[in-house]
Structure 1
Amino acid sequence: MSAGTAPGATEPGGSVQVSQQGAIATVTLSNPGRRNTMTEAMWRALEPACARLADDGSVRAVVVRGAGTDFSAGADISDLRAILRDEDSGRHDGGAVAAGEAALAGLHKPTIAAVEGYCLGGAWQIAAACDIRLASSAATFGITPAKIGIVYPTAGIERLVRIAGPATAKYLLFSGDFVDAERARVLGLVQAVHPAEAFWGEVDAFAERLASRSQLSIQAMKDIVDTIDSAGGGEHGRAQLARANEHWQQLMTTSGDAETGVKAFLAKRTPEFTWNGGRDVQRHARQSMGTGDPAL
């Protein structure tokens, strides 16, 4: 995949750009001079960008970042009604925000939000939809619906509650207060904070590590963790988890990654994993659990 802009992403004032170096793809939120605020077209561009990444077998890890020195200051307020309106239902219950967030959360490959500068409002929903969040020590977070009198789409609130817990979610949502990177780490919003001067080197190194690992293991663990998180307890949840585990255990015997990893370990050399099964494998896993979700 060459550097460029995702199909349908470009419009005056903002774009979602997809580029690749080696096995690492980067999704860049770009709205120059506006701290990368997200227009409706930018939100809608996330879905085709994620579909493109899902189908590209050369991509083994994805980094989401903002252009310049900010991740994003959130949804473009001047475009807010269009952004939040669902075209099918006519209701203001998520619209383009919910679609973009769901596309990123549903991407079967490992995703890293690399947060520098401001990550505010709807931009947090993009970061939260990634598997792992790394922050620069200069990053600032804020979840701000109460400052402008809107109600966030429920998917974003649900994800925040799962990440940080209900009390912290209420604190952030009610107050709209900004928190610095270290406070965000303490609250559970990010997994690691790196010094600003070393941040991008740390992001690159971490992404390269993920790309070098077994994608069979990563994609299986992502699916299983997400199943545990979404299915909950009870008989139905346990059945879903058992079916997901069975699917991946069977695939482990045929993918070749386990044999590659064991041989490399015994020979004391670095394994070179080649499997990158794609979203069809993930879709099959979901269908075997009876969900049949076409987004995965």
Structure 2
Amino acid sequence: MTGTVRVEFNGPVATVVLDNPRRHNAMTKDMWQQLERLLLLLSVDESVKVLVVRGAGANFSAGVDITNLNDILHDPHTGGHDGGNVTAAENALARFQKPTVAAIDGHCIGGGWQIAGACDIRVASDQSTFGITPAKIGIIYPLSGIERLVRLAGPAAAKYLLFSGDFITASEAKSLGLVARVVPRSGFWQEVAEFARRLASRSQLSIQAMKNIVDVIAENDEGLGETHALWQREVTLSGEPEIGVAAFLGKRSPEFKWTGRHSQLFEH
């Protein structure tokens, strides 16, 4: 078995499963390519409101399958050394318009961290372990992964993790800003499922707008004002505030309708 990437649906929540448990969910070239293709399909599926990424079995992912490391990381068509299939899948996940949650249990190592790091929110079990290990095998971590690590943890912590290749605990990862929450393993998967359902119940217009705005701020993009104005215009046209206010006043759960299908933001 070379492993696979599959998807499970539970109402509006799609769970992408990295499935190669005999090798701690190490990602083969086929798996990286499957992940990129699957993300593109889920991005246009209007029934999907929230994306969860997890590993099969006891681990998130041990990273790139080292048996074909060079073939995975380098693009044979361009001769590029920019992370190849890893970077392509990571960028597809980072660009995913809907909210994404990495559910991390067990090992989250190397390229596995690139997948987790590209998600909006990372929730870890208290038995998870993190490590970024290029220095142990004499390679340079893909540029996209280094940039994202520096933005999340800062230069000093990024250097510590990249230079040493040391493994750290979930609590240490939280202290460095790598994960948002650490949950006891005994209730971990129930908590992830409940959290994903909560996100799905919120206004997807609000979430996608704020995700876009936060990303623009984090990337120091000069288009921040224009981006914010476009989303404010979309709010005015959407009817979402009326739904939310009416539900609040009526002491009931709102049923938001916005999908983005007719939005001017998605015409190009």
Match of 1:9 in 2: none
For 2:251, the equivalent position in structure 1 comes to 268
Question: What is the aligned partner in structure 2 of residue 7 from structure 1?
Answer: none
Is residue 181 from structure 1 mapped to residue 170 from structure 2 by the alignment? yes
Q: Aligned equivalents of 1:55 and 1:109: distance in 2?
A: 10
Asked whether the equivalents of residues 134 and 203 of structure 1 are also in contact (C-alpha less than 8 Å), the reply is: yes
Q: Which residue of 2 aligns with 1:194?
A: 183
Could you report, residue by residue, the CA deviation over 1:87-129 in whole angstroms, capped at 9, with x for unpaired residues?
3321222100010000000100000000000000110000000
- The whole-number CA distance in structure 2 between the counterparts of 1:54 and 1:163 is 24
1:102 paired residue number: 91
Q: Report what 1:258 is aligned to.
A: 241
- Is this contact kept in 1: 2:230–2:265, CA < 8 A? no
- Spell out the pairing of 1:99-138 with structure 2 (5 A cutoff): 99-138=88-127
2:65 counterpart of 1:76: yes
Q: TM-score, normalised by structure 1?
A: 0.88
The runs of at least 4 aligned residues of structure 1 exceeding 6 Å deviation read none
Q: Does 1:231 align with 2:231?
A: no
Identical aligned residues as a percent: 57
Matched residue, 1:149: 138
Cα distance in 1 between the residues matched to 2:7 and 2:231:
30
Q: 1:279 to 1:112 in 2, by over 3 A?
A: farther
Query: Which of 48, 52, 72 matches 1:63?
Result: 52
Two-structure CA RMSD over aligned residues (Å): 1.4
Are 1:108 and 1:279, in contact at CA under 8 Å, matched by a contact in 2? no
Number of matched pairs: 268
TM-score (norm 2): 0.97
Residue of 184, 195, 208 corresponding to 1:219:
208
Q: Distance in 2 between matches of 1:206 and 1:278?
A: 25
Report the CA distance shift for 1:280/1:160 in structure 2 as closer, same or farther (over 3 A). farther
In the aligned structure 2, how far is the partner of 1:282 from the partner of 1:76? Answer: 38
Distance 1:278-1:194 versus aligned 2 partners, 3 A rule: farther
* Secondary structure in structure 1 of the residue aligned to 2:9: strand
Instruction: Tell me the equivalent position of 2:155.
Output: 166
For residues 74 and 164 of structure 1, the distance between their equivalents in structure 2, rounded to whole angstroms, comes to: 19
Per the alignment, residue 24 of structure 1 pairs with 13
Q: Distance in 2 between matches of 1:96 and 1:283?
A: 26
In the alignment, the residues of structure 2 paired with residue 181 and residue 278 of structure 1 have an alpha-carbon distance, to the nearest angstrom, of 38
Q: Offset at 1:282?
A: 4.8
CA contact (8 A) 2:39 2:96 kept: yes
**1:37-56 paired onto structure 2 within 5 Å:** 37-56=26-45
Q: 1:264 Cα deviation (Å)?
A: 0.7
